[in-house]
Amino acid sequence: MEFEVLAKCPITRARVSRMKLPHGITMLPTFMPVATQAAIKGLTAHQVEALGITLILNNTYHLNLRPGTKILRDVGGAHRFQGWRHNLLTDSGGFQLVSLNKFTQITEEGALFASPFTGEPTMLTPEESISIQHAIGSDIMMQLDDVVHTLTVGPRVGEAMWRTIRWLDRCIDFHENSGRKNSQSLFAIVQGGIDPELRDQCLDEMVKRKDRVAGYAIGGLSGGEEKDTFWRIIKQCADKLPEDRPRYSMGIGFAEDLLVCVALGVDMADCVFPTRTARFGVALTFNGPLNIRLKKHATDLRPIDETCTCPTCTSGTSRAMLHHIVTLETAGAHALTQHNIVFQARVMGGARDAIMNGTFPTYLKTFFANYFGDTGYPEWCVNALRSVGVDLLEDRPHTKIIAGDATKWEYSDAA
């Protein structure tokens, strides 16, 4: 991997970088759409590429179950299997093990779980996780981490954090001995729950291993913790992680979360949210999400967003037409999926341009005014951005402030 920071925002911690991987160059900050099972819902790899996407995510846990490593090795990896020519990132499978299998047991050796096919006890070790990711052939691999639920407290959090560090060492050793060091890059995952002290210890240990890892992910968040806690941990990690390594915030997808994370110094994020919400009939826009299933869209002949560059909007698909097919025809889901992927890319592309031009604080203010202007700003966003020198309320002191998580949604009127 080649990683180069091209520009830094003079006010916030945001930066633009160029990340060169075996399957091309990805400009950061970026959002990665999720292709859990080697397909972004309903689309082909070529369609995703045409949307201007250079980096997607596959899930190791799922691809290990189906199609399995034998088939992936036979065809020469997941790129060829799904027809994807660009960069690919895989997680380690640890998160799915814990979230999808109730009876997973963690030992020092690895994670012991019952195979969903045969019920037989199966062990996923750090070495095995890397080996599966080698079969997949992803450009960026994640270490196996010991995942605990975000809201877990007590000694288990520290235990998991220290084990994650030991497992990182095992992943590094295995990967370095595999001969694939130049074709695949390994990222470490910072753990430590919502305890700043544990996070600090984890950061210290992992930064020590900097020469043997290509980048860092911030794990263990977006699992139900308070937003106020969330941003403080992100900030703590981003501040301490080395300047010359990409920083990846796992499981982040709401536009406001993305922009706050970018301002705090995060370069990459992923989430199933934009593609999942598309299948439920929600179109993301700069004025907030639209629930296309609502009756008010049934006769509206305007596209979702006249300024949008996606195939759905540029081909003139009206909200009324989408209302007619969404949730009933798979093609309706595809149309919204294409739009939402482009929306995420526009949010991040706009951030890149603004950082390059030195106007990122203004970009943030404009975004929040359009997106939350009529409903009120989430308090945590205001606080998070103040911590990096941007006061969203500077020119608009009378803005309504909403405490708590304040996600903006159009609820169904049971049309």
Partner 1 sequence: MAMMNAELKPRSSLIFSSSPSQSHATPLPHFGPRLGEVNVQRQEGAARIAIKTPGMMTATSRGVVPHLSRDHVRLTRAICWVHVPFETFLEHNPPLPITQPGPRPLHQFLGFSPADHVLSVSARDPFDGRDMPANNKDYVATYCIRGVRKLTPEVWAQYDAACNPDIITALSDTPFTSAPHSNKRTHKSLERSTAWLANLLHSVAARRREVGSDGEPLTGSLSNVLVHMAGGAVVQARKAFAEGLMEDLEEFKAVNPSPYRRLDDGVAGYVFDLVPLRAALSARSKAADEDLGDDADTLKPRGAINTLTPTSSADTSAMDPAALSEVLRASLQPLPTHKPRLVNSARSPHEMLRLVRDVGIDLFDAHWAQRAADIGVALDFAFPVALGDTQPVDARVAGSPRTKVRPGEKMDLGHNLYSGDYAHDHSRLAANFLDGRSHAQQTAEGSPDARPVCPCGACSPRSPGTHILHSALDRTSWEGQAGADTLEPPFMRSYVHHLLHTHEMSAHSLLVMHNLSVLDAFFVGIRSVLEHAGTEEFNRQVDLFLETYDEEMVLFDEAKVDWVQVEMARGKGRLAREKIKQAESSLGTSVDV
How many whole angstroms separate alpha carbon 298 and alpha carbon 292? Answer: 8
**238: alpha, beta or left? (left if phi > 0; alpha if psi -120 to 50):** alpha
Using the rule CB under 8 A, is 27 a contact of partner 1? Answer: yes
Distance of CA 236 to the CA centre of its chain: 18
Using the rule CB under 8 A, is 338 a contact of partner 1? Answer: yes
Q: Which residue, 176, 250, 248, is CA-closest to 209?
A: 176
Which range touches partner 1 (CB under 8 A), out of 99-107, 137-145, 248-256, 322-330? 322-330
Q: Which residue, 27, 90, 20, is CA-closest to 348?
A: 27
Among 54, 96, 133, 185, binds partner 1 (CB under 8 A): 54
Using the rule CB under 8 A, is 298 a contact of partner 1? Answer: yes
Binding at 175: pick from partner 1, Zn ion, none (beta carbon under 5-8 Å per type): none
Which range touches Zn ion (CB under 5 A), out of 49-57, 227-235, 306-314, 328-336? 306-314
Residues 337-376 that bind Zn ion (CB under 5 A): 339
- 237 in a labelled binding site: no
Token reading at 115: 């195979």
Residues 109-138 that bind partner 1 (CB under 8 A): none
Using the rule CB under 8 A, is 160 a contact of partner 1? Answer: no
Using the rule CB under 5 A, is 310 a contact of Zn ion? Answer: yes
Using the rule CB under 8 A, is 360 a contact of partner 1? Answer: no
Site string for partner 1, 262-291 (x = CB under 8 A): --------------x--xx-----------
Q: Would you call 270 a catalytic residue per the annotation?
A: yes
Using the rule CB under 5 A, is 308 a contact of Zn ion? Answer: yes
Q: Is the dihedral of CA 351, 354, 360, 366 positive or negative?
A: negative
How many whole angstroms separate alpha carbon 325 and alpha carbon 342? Answer: 20
Q: Would you call 91 a catalytic residue per the annotation?
A: yes
Using the rule CB under 8 A, is 163 a contact of partner 1? Answer: no
How many whole angstroms separate alpha carbon 201 and alpha carbon 158? Answer: 10
How many whole angstroms separate alpha carbon 6 and alpha carbon 367? Answer: 23
How many whole angstroms separate alpha carbon 13 and alpha carbon 314? Answer: 35
Q: Which residues are catalytic?
A: 91, 270
Residues lying near Zn ion in the complex (CB under 5 A) are found at 308, 310, 312-313, 339
